[in-house]
Amino acid sequence: MIQLIELTKRFGQLVAVDHVDLQVKRGEIFGFLGPNGAGKTTTIKMLAGLLKPTSGRALVDGFDVVTYPMEAKRAIGFIPDQPFLYEKLTGIEFLRFIGSLFGMEKAEIEWRISDLLGLFELDGWRDELIEGYSHGMKQRLVMSAALLHNPKVIIVDEPMVGLDPKGINLVKRIFRQKSEEGVTIFLSTHTLEIAQQLCHRLGIINGGKLIAAGTIPELMAVLEDKTDQTGTLESLFLALTGKSLHE
């Protein structure tokens, strides 16, 4: 469902993403881990169409994001880490606007909005201007917008930022449910616990290079090979990104 082929992004001299090769299957929840500045957000932005690759390709649902951007974007529900929205629209107006951009039928937009506002507990705020929403509410509104058109792929940058424990629990439940329905989820996170609980497979990126990818047992095996000892996901992450546990 998602395929990255030699994907590279340079900003002048800086190589933010360096020849990344990766495949994510249908219905899979793939966690993208890495320290700050490793290239997670850059990769996600290239998938979402906000950045253009310097070289290599990124395919979503079989469509190249550069040569067939409309088809690729139609398959994606994108959730950024910072929920910048049209502050002067109400929640329901914003969702209707997004539905129209994705070419949905009016009736379909209305019942999907009704479902999603209930699911994300924004019912009471539907007619309030977004400028009055808290950060967490804006984040939940962005998630509603991303799920509105029933995307085949959900791309999320730091999904739990700004959410309270109840919200985090809700999002985990929704992602699992979506995954069971065959939706592919590509998420970047710093929170190893969430990655461990939620993801079928993980990829670890450091200095723009994908240094490891696989299921948690597969990655643990890598750790054992490297250090001759068993450990946790945290120790694996630190070992692979070149930092000791004492750092």
Partner 1 sequence: MITLALLFWVVIFFLFYKVLVYFKSIEILGEILLAKLMAVVFLTFFLMLVVSNIITSLSTYFLSEDTKLILTLPVSTEKVYLSKYLITLAHSSWMVLLFGIPVFMAYGAVYGASIGYYLWLATILLVFLLIPGGVGVMISMSLVNLVPARRARGALVVLFVLVLAALYLFFRFLQPEKLVNPEKFSELIDYLAMLRLPTSPFLPSHWATRSLFPLLKGQFDESMFFFLLLLSSGLMSALAGSWVCRLLYYRGWSRSYESREGGIKRMPLLEGFFDFLMRPLHESTKAMVMKDMRIFLRDARQWSQLILLCALVVVYLFNFKVLPLNKVPGITFYLENIISFLNVGLAGFVLSAVAVRFTYPAISLEGRAFWIMMSSPVELRRLIWSKFWTSLVPLLLLAEALIILSNTFLHVTQFMMIISTVTIFLVTIAIVSMGIGIGAIYPRFQVEDVAQIHSGFGGLIYMIICVTFIGMVILLEAWPTYLIFMARIGGRYLTLAQWIEVIFCLCLTVFIILAAIFVPIKLGLKRLSRLEM
Residues that bind partner 1 (CB under 8 A): 45, 48-52, 69-71, 73-74, 76, 78, 80, 82, 84-86, 88-90, 93, 96-98, 100-103, 127, 129, 131-132
Question: Which C-beta is closer to partner 1: that of 101 or that of 245?
Answer: 101
What is the residue whose two structure tokens read 């597969």? 218
Residues 6+ apart with CB under 8 A from 233: 192, 195, 196, 202, 216, 219, 220
**Residue nearer to partner 1 on the CB measure, 20 or 65:** 65
Q: Smaller CB distance to partner 1: residue 63 or 237?
A: 63
Please, what is the minimum distance in Å from the beta carbon of residue 127 to partner 1? 7
Q: How far is the CB of 118 from partner 1 (least distance, A)?
A: 22
- The type of residue at 179 is S
Please tell me the number of Cα atoms within 13 Å of 232 on its side-chain side: 8
C-beta of residue 39 within 8 angstroms of C-beta of residue 16: yes
Nearer to partner 1 by Cβ, of 90 and 144: the residue is 90
State in angstroms the smallest separation of the CB of 131 from partner 1.
6
Q: How far is the CB of 14 from partner 1 (least distance, A)?
A: 14
In this structure, what DSSP letter does residue 131 have? G
Distance CA 82, CA 24 (A): 25
Minimum distance between the CB of residue 38 and partner 1, rounded to whole angstroms? Answer: 19
Q: Which is nearer to partner 1, 18 or 71 (CB)?
A: 71
Six-digit token pair at 31? 């966690």
Question: Which of these, 210, 205, 241, lies nearest to 19 by C-alpha position?
Answer: 210
CA gap 88, 95 in Å, rounded: 13
